[in-house]
Chain A
Amino acid sequence: MLSCPEPSLPARPDPWTALRAHTPARIALGRAGGSLPTAARLDFLLAHARARDAVQAILDAEALGRDLGAAGIAHARAATGATDRATYLARPDLGRRFAQDSRDALAARHGDWANCDLAVIVSDGLSAPAAQRHAVPTLQPLLARLTAAGWRVAPVLLVPFARVKLQDELGTLLRCRLSLVLLGERPGLGAPDSLGAYLTFGPGAGRTDADRNCLSNIRPEGLPPTAAAARLADLLLAAARLGRSGTGLKEDTALAGDTVLSLPAP
């Protein structure tokens, strides 16, 4: 019987696959010549397909409202000028402003709403799954700690198709000291459900990204929601104490300050 020699395989594995344990990055992929092996290429295509699907996903606002209610968090609904996904992607200006009826309703609010310490927006942004899964686990410990510190927090506004700057208009309408927005970040290949948090002291029309502090990649595999809540509380309390946020508020002043300025905000 003829022996059949093992044909030499055309792709060469990398002898450092053990390093993969230390990073979610696509390392030690191997190579065919200098190019990507077929399996690694197919992995990438699948991840890209999933991220594309996450961008198109629709927020289930009813379900998110029920989750907020179950967590004992007062909330209400509002709308921006963007009414569908395609418009939201093409017209960021519409996501930065409330729809007229929402604006009128907010301007007429008194009692629990006006002159509070903090106003909060939750939105799908660029990833509905991010808001759906991680907004409540982040808000619950955060609001508990702020309330314990004596803060008055307005009911959380659930606003589909919002951009970061919507927090400035909310701050103006409610005359609050600080505003915070939690919204889905642009989905990465391995992270279709990252939540981002942006906070602003003295929110208003003239504020820019340099006036905000940001925590990103909030999800169990990245910055877990409870850890994010603790750092957001530190930042908010420091911002209130110092009377500023953004580039003027760093680690040393907040214990855990983050600003992401090389990135355009969603």
Chain B
Amino acid sequence: MARWSLAVGARRHSFHDLRELLAKATPPRSGDVLAGLAAASAEERVAAQACLADVPLALFLSEPLIPPETDEVSRLILAQHDPAAFRPVAGLTVGQLREWLLRYETDDATLAALAPGLTPEMAAAVAKLMANQDLILVARKRRVVTRFRSTVGLPGRLSFRLQPNHPTDDPTGITAALVDGLLYGCGDAVLGINPATDNVGAVQNLLSLLDRVITRYGIPTQSCVLAHVTTQLEALRRGAPVDLVFQSIAGTEAANRSFGVNLSLLAEARAAALALGRGGSQVMYFETGQGSALSADAHHGVDQQTCEARAYAVARAFEPFLVNSVVGFIGPEYLRDGREIIRAGLEDHFCGKLLGLPMGVDVCHTNHAEADQDDMDTLLTLLGVAGCNYFMGVPGADDVMLGYQSTSFHDAQYLRQVLGLRPAPEFEAWLERMGLARDGRLLPVAPDHALLP
């Protein structure tokens, strides 16, 4: 028997459970089609959205999408839920939550107080009813500020991860890209290397390299080498200077298993990094992305945007310093083209912020997707307006190790100019001290600048 149905003219559209309703209410994307979950027609999609708008938020608490008995992320979501924080919206439907979020009265403080009361499924559901401009407007209200050596996420600020990857982890090559990014005013979120080689010795060497650069030039930033968490833990045990611990995470226990992680391993990693006492309490860096659960055949019939929001429940359990969706990385079988990537990027940033995360976005695409750098400019600009905490700074937007296109040091200059945004305050002061920037503009660099060999 259908739980929900809606007559549209001569046709009646029926939906049997919450998973089906959520999936069919999702704006179009190839991954849901691949999973066999998408609405069969545009009309069915809107019918699902209309039914979803009338679903009481409380239903998400009584009917978990994935049984907690078999999934530790579902258990975590239920354990995280704070009934007191939920109270202001407890009597609302999904459609009413959209309107409540859009009210003038709903501000940063209101949203911060609400976050522990919302589950990822509620955030995902309301996102499905929101226009792109709604996703931008509500996310812009919310500032999630985190601190290590720099402060990321303050109003009027925009940070960049400096991503100096090299195809063979050559230390000189990585240093050259590091210097390039610093001279272009990037690196205030993190100096973060994706290693080509996931082994302990290589990770130790890269961490030492980053630590030497940070110490020598007194840069108010932090480092990270984005190897598997077990590799970072082993490097840490051998004495490597670990600032942030990284891991890719997903929204189901089985998908996390395919990444070789679970909640207790993440807790162990966080405890180990905290014990080093190199920053404050925010020592984790997570990356996510729509489609990862389906890719691991671990989505339990749940649409990819909802799975993604569930990954944010995992992230917020560990008080992260940085979280970003790598929105166009996974490929066209999950997000087909620029249009789908743009929509997903706005959804991910919105859901992350709503759930209380310091969201950044890796605005990116691969060469087998129907997208190009103009699509990236569009998403970058929209997310800048939406108050995104940080983006990636990759030399010339071309990651020569991972083989995808992201955003560049020049993009940082572009976005800070058009939106009047400045780097993290500590980093901005460092750039001025080093004679690299003033009043939001890069200064000419002398050939004998201290950062140059």
Question: Measuring CB to CB, which residues of chain A are less than 8 angstroms from any residue of chain B?
Answer: 12, 14-16, 18-20, 22-29, 31, 33-36, 40, 44, 47-48, 51-52, 54-55, 89-93, 126, 185-191, 194, 208-210, 216-217, 221-223, 246-247, 250-252, 256-264
Contact = CB atoms under 8 A, between A and B. Distances in A.
A29 B177 CA distance: 11
Given A16-B452, A23-B166, A25-B165, 20 more contacts: A16-B183, A22-B170, A23-B173, A26-B396, A26-B397, A89-B333, A90-B333, A186-B367, A187-B403, A188-B400, A188-B404, A189-B403, A190-B400, A191-B403, A217-B167, A250-B198, A258-B198, A259-B228, A260-B198, A262-B226
A15 B452 CA distance: 9
A222 B414 contact: no
Contacts of B408: 26, 36
A194 B259 CA distance: 23
Contact of A210 (B30, B257, B396, B400): B257
A188 B398 contact: yes
A23 B200 CA distance: 23
B150 interface: no
Interface in B319-334: 329-333
B177 A185 contact: no
A contact patch SS: loop
B367 A44 contact: no
Contacts of B329: 264
Contacts of A217: 167-168, 196, 401, 403
Interface stretch (B2-10, B341-349, B438-446): B438-446
Contacts of A24: 167, 173, 400
A259 B367 CA distance: 23
B288 to A, nearest CB: 11
Contacts of A185: 403
Contacts of A14: 180, 183, 445
Contacts of A247: 228, 230, 260
B368 interface: yes
B396 A35 contact: no
A29, A93, A221, A261 interface centre (most CB from chain B within 10 Å): A261
A209 B201 CA distance: 22
24 contacts: A15-B445, A22-B172, A22-B173, A23-B176, A25-B173, A25-B398, A29-B395, A35-B413, A35-B414, A36-B410, A40-B396, A44-B373, A47-B398, A54-B367, A92-B34, A92-B295, A185-B403, A186-B367, A188-B398, A189-B398, A191-B403, A251-B200, A260-B198, A264-B331
B372 interface: yes
Given A188-B403, A189-B367, A250-B200, A44 B413 contact: no
7 A-B pairs with least C-beta separation: A26-B396, A34-B413, A188-B403, A251-B199, A23-B173, A210-B260, A27-B180
A25, A208, A223, A259 interface centre (most CB from chain B within 10 Å): A25
A28 B34 contact: no
A28, A90, A264 interface centre (most CB from chain B within 10 Å): A264
